[in-house]
């Protein structure tokens, strides 16, 4: 290849990289950016064609409203939807409570199961693992009705407990799976050494396996938390009042009013809602990425 054509190929490559990079940025960020922009615009300015792409000033009224202030311009047509939005912060709080509870339960139950599947020889271990994993893959919509009926029968409608239970059932399989793969990647000889050195299975888990497994544990926990946080169908179906509303449930309720009034306010709700999971993923991105990859690698 001549020097010139090599240089041409080089520039072609650089230009393609640049174009696609811009594409990636636009692709990934544009909905989020638009969400943020709209949350800082007063509603009246939103219902214009064309919209203000870049507002001159940042309007914080939407956020002030969510923080509890009353603002005249934000009296909407349907108090119901507004009341929902009002609860945004509280519902994010609920989401955090539920998410953390789900994660804790997953840890208590899931660590032992995952470890047992990975390392403890037992008849039927493989079949049980398949069973655990399998339960997640079926469409959740399918069990919406039965769960509703069951929760109703247990008089647990509109409680955070119900949501925690349901979400744990959703989060557990993937949690166990991620940890299973992770535990399997630990050299068995280290665990054998621990047991020869005097550890029972339980002690070995506590003193040797778990300290080494921190990245896997972090990843699995984040996945559990996010599964719970993202879940909206059951969260909204099983809750009626703010008592048990999660962030996703509130957003679902808010969505009923979309496009008709106070979109800016709802965008502000949205921004607040996405902050916790976004922060979590950005801070722990390394563990998250490794966790996702190992889980699918098998």
Partner 1 sequence: MAGIVLENLTKNFGNVKAVDNVNLEIEDKEFVTLLGPSGCGKTTTLRMIAGLEAPTSGKIYFDGKAVNDVPPHKRNVAMVFQDYALYPHMNAFQNIAFSLGMRKIPENEIREQVTNTARLLRIEHLLERMPSELSGGEKQRVALGRALVRKPAVSLLDEPLSSIDAKLRDEMRSELIKIHERFPTTFVYVTHDQVEAMTLSNRIAVMQNGRVHQYDTPINLFHKPVNTFVAGFIGSPTMNLIEGRLSKDPETNKVTFEGPDFAFPISMAVGDIHLNRKSVLGIRPEGVLVSEEEVPGSFRTELYTAEVRGEFTILKLKIRDTILTSRIESGRGFKNNMYATLAKGYLFDENAQLISTF
Partner 2 sequence: MSEASGTPSDTKFGITSTLPTVAFLTILSTAPLVYAFALSFQKYKLTSPGQHPFIFLENYAKVVTSYHFTAAITNTLIFTVGAVVFVFLVSLVFSLVLNERFRGCAWLRILILIPWAIPEMASALVWRWIYDSHFGVLNAMLVYVIPVFDSYQSWLGDPRYAMAAILFPQIWKEVPLCVLLFLTGYSTIPQSLYEAAKIDGANAFARFRRITIPMLKPIIQIVLVYETIMGIASFAYVYILTGGGPADVTTTLSWYTFMASFSFADFGQGAAIAVVMSVISLIFIVLYFRLIPTRRFGAVGV
Q: Applying CB under 8 A, does 281 fall inside the site for partner 2? A: yes
Rg of the chain, C-alpha, whole Å: 24
CB of 196 to partner 1, least distance (A): 5
**Dihedral angle sign, alpha carbons of residues 252, 256, 262, 263:** positive
Burial class (CB in 10 A: 0-12, 13-18, 19+), 16: exposed
* Interface positions, 130-159, toward partner 2 (CB under 8 A): 131-132, 134-147, 149-150
Query: Which of partner 1, partner 2, none lies near 176, with the C-beta cut-off 5 to 8 A by kind?
Result: partner 2
Which residues are CB-neighbours of 40 under 8 A, at least 6 positions away? 55, 58, 59, 60, 62
Q: Which is nearer to partner 1, 123 or 155 (CB)?
A: 123
Query: Which of partner 2, partner 1, none lies near 154, with the C-beta cut-off 5 to 8 A by kind?
Result: none
* Interface positions, 35-74, toward partner 2 (CB under 8 A): 35, 38, 46-51, 53
**Nearest in space to 105 (alpha carbons), one of 150, 154, 171, 178:** 171
Count residues contacting partner 1 (CB under 8 A)? Answer: 17
* Rounded Cα gap, residues 231 and 228, in angstroms: 5
Q: Applying CB under 8 A, does 221 fall inside the site for partner 2? A: no
CB-CB contact of 35 with 278 (8 Å) = no
Burial class (CB in 10 A: 0-12, 13-18, 19+), 38: buried
Q: What is the 3-state secondary structure (H, E, C) of 220-255?
A: HHHHHHHHHHHCCHHHHHCCCCHHHCCHHHHHHHHH
Which CA distances in Å does 66 have to 5, 197, 221, 288?
A: 60, 58, 29, 31
Q: Applying CB under 8 A, does 128 fall inside the site for partner 2? A: yes
163, 176, 205, 208: residue in contact with partner 1 (rule CB under 8 A): 208
4, 44, 189, 241: residue in contact with partner 1 (rule CB under 8 A): 189
**Binding piece for partner 1, criterion CB under 8 A, among 73-81, 192-200, 233-241, 270-278:** 192-200
Q: Applying CB under 8 A, does 113 fall inside the site for partner 2? A: yes
Q: Which is nearer to partner 1, 146 or 187 (CB)?
A: 187
**Binding piece for partner 2, criterion CB under 8 A, among 55-63, 68-76, 83-91, 259-267:** 259-267
Query: Which of partner 2, partner 1, none lies near 146, with the C-beta cut-off 5 to 8 A by kind?
Result: partner 2
**Binding piece for partner 2, criterion CB under 8 A, among 54-62, 66-74, 96-104, 170-178:** 170-178
């Amino acid at each position: 290849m001549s020097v010139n054509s090599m240089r041409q190929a080089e520039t072609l490559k650089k230009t393609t990289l640049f174009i696609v990079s811009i594409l990636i940025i636009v692709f990934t960020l544009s909905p989020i950016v638009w969400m943020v922009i709209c949350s800082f615009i007063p509603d009246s300015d939103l219902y214009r064609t064309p919209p203000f792409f870049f507002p001159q000033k940042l309007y914080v009224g939407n956020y002030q409203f969510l923080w509890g202030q009353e603002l005249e311009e934000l009296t909407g047509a349907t108090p119901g939807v507004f009341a929902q939005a009002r609860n945004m912060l509280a519902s994010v709080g609920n989401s955090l409570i539920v998410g953390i509870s789900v994660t804790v339960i997953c840890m208590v139950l899931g660590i032992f199961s995952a470890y047992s599947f990975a390392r403890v020889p037992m008849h039927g271990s493989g079949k049980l693992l398949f069973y655990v994993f399998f339960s997640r893959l079926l469409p959740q919509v399918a069990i919406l009705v039965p769960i509703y009926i069951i929760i109703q029968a247990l008089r647990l409608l509109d409680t955070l407990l119900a949501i925690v239970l349901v979400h744990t059932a959703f989060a557990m399989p993937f949690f166990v799976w991620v940890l299973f793969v992770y535990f399997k990647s630990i050299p068995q000889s280290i665990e054998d050494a621990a047991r020869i050195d005097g550890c029972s299975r339980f002690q070995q888990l506590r003193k040797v396996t778990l300290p080494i497994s921190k990245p896997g544990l972090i990843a699995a926990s984040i996945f559990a938390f996010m599964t719970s946080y993202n879940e909206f169908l059951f969260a909204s179906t099983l809750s009626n009042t703010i008592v048990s509303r999660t962030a996703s449930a509130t957003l679902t309720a808010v969505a009923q009013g979309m496009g008709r009034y106070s979109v800016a306010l709802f965008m502000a709700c949205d921004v607040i809602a996405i902050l916790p999971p976004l922060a979590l993923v950005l801070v722990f991105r390394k563990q998250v990425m490794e966790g996702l990859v190992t889980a699918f690698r098998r």
